[in-house]
Amino acid sequence: MAESSPLRRAVLIGTGAYLPETIVTNDDLAQKIDTSDAWITERTGIRQRHFAAPYETAAYMGAQAARAALQAAGVAADEVGAIIVGTSTPDQAFPSTAVHIQAAISATKAFGFDLAAACSGFIYGLSVADAMIRAGQVDKVLVIGSEVYSRILNFEDRGTCVLFGDGAGAVLLQAREVAADGPGLLSTHLHADGTQAGILYVDGAVGRRDMPGHLVMNGREVFRHAVTLLSSAVSEALAANGLASDAIDWLVPHQANRRIIDGVGKKLGLPPERVVVTVDRHANTSAASIPLALHEAVADGRIRPGQLVLLEALGGGLTWGSALLRL
Ligand code: ACO
């Protein structure tokens, strides 16, 4: 019988992470603003978050996570062909966070750029990297999510400032010729609805000197959309690959809120022990949350080679999407 020809796929060969040293508990926040550990834990599952020191910028943290991913893969920085950074909190409008990371890690042969899709930035980045690898443009791509939301939080707004944290996660993808049932990114699915821009946004940027640049959110509206849109992105990934949800070994969701994570897991019919959760310790680190969670579960041996992993995210835009990969 003729064997099917191998496919060029983006295979995940390393993960890395960086979290700022300073941990801020709910009780710490309650000393400064009118909130409580009970309110935050009940509604979100968040118990603590990391807040960056002044030197811990998106570029600094992203470089640390990138180094760790390269080390895990046993790959030298000058083998990297491209660096894609999902971030809404870059060090500068330009140069991009990606080129600062390129310099910091001496990835001398890589090109790089930032990608703005808020909390969906890592899934969007994976999708772009996957397309570049499949097209033969590059062989090794670092996809990084790095965020310092503590710098854009409005600490007068207790409804938002308790929800977010800082950190960075990175993965290294490598082009490989594999069999259909072999490892690699199987598919990615991206969506956006700009008519919902007003429910989650930052009210300023370098192009708007009249606005301070704080995160603004209508939490109820975001919540209303989240489970429905994320569940549809997850179903889309399963349908595109002819899989039922019981084929999924791990769901690694964007870590915004425990109730959203549980809602999607339940709709998928996945038992909680197959869902990776870090929101209790990291809070919502936007584009960094998925690579941080993925790194944790790969590093501690929960996610193993050969397993099917489903990623999903939703964020400001609205933007949302999913990615399915075999380790
Ligand atoms: N501590 C104590 N009380 C608070 C706090 C706080 N930190 N924040 C708000 N409250 C009070 C409000 O003032 C209000 O009081 P009132 O009834 O006396 O007016 C009460 O709690 C209820 O406020 P709501 O905003 O209606 O609270 P809700 O139950 O909707 O929960 C939450 C808020 C947790 C933000 C919820 O809407 C949510 O989880 N939304 C999803 C949003 C999300 O996760 N966004 C992350 C970014 S998007 C993404 O990454 C997917």
96-136 pLDDT per residue, tens: 999 999 999 999 999 999 999 999 999 999 999 999 999 99
198-256 pLDDT per residue, tens: 999 999 887 787 887 999 999 999 999 999 999 999 999 999 999 999 999 999 999 99
- Site to substitute for ligand 1 among 43, 214, 229, most atoms within 8 A of C-beta: 43
- 248/221 Cα distance (integer angstroms): 29
Tally the C-alpha atoms within 13 A of residue 40's C-alpha that lie toward its C-beta: 29
CA of 159 to the centre of ligand 1 (A): 5
- Whole-Å CA distances, 148 to 81, 165, 255: 26, 7, 15
pLDDT, mean of residues 269-298: 97
Nearest ligand 1 atom to alpha carbon 164 = 46
Prediction pTM value: 0.96
Q: Do domains 7-178 and 184-326 have the same CATH topology?
A: yes
- Site to substitute for ligand 1 among 42, 88, 220, 258, most atoms within 8 A of C-beta: 220
Nearest ligand 1 atom to alpha carbon 220 = 37
Summary mean pLDDT of the chain? 96
Instruction: Find out if CATH 2.30.42.10 is the number for domain 7-178.
Output: no
CA of 160 to the centre of ligand 1 (A): 7
Q: What is the pLDDT of residue 302?
A: 98
Domain ranges of the chain: 7-178, 184-326
262-283 pLDDT per residue, tens: 999 999 999 999 999 999 999 9
Which residues of the chain form beta strands (DSSP E)? 7-18, 22-25, 48-51, 82-86, 111-115, 140-148, 166-178, 184-192, 200-202, 215-217, 250-253, 308-315, 319-326
Tokens of 283: 């809070």
Percent residues over pLDDT 90 in the chain: 95
Provide the pLDDT confidence category of residue 1 given band limits of 50, 70 and 90. Answer: very low
Look at ligand 1, atom 32, and give the residue with the nearest C-alpha.
219
Please say whether the beta carbons of 34 and 158 come within 8 A: yes
CA of 21 to the centre of ligand 1 (A): 27
Nearest ligand 1 atom to alpha carbon 118 = 50
Catalogue the active-site residues: 119, 254, 284
Q: Of 65, 61, 101, 58, give the one whose Cα is nearest residue 83.
A: 101
Identify the CATH homologous superfamily for domain 184-326.
Thiolase/Chalcone synthase (3.40.47.10)
β 200-202/184-192 pair status: unpaired
Q: Token pair 């964020």 is at which residue?
A: 315
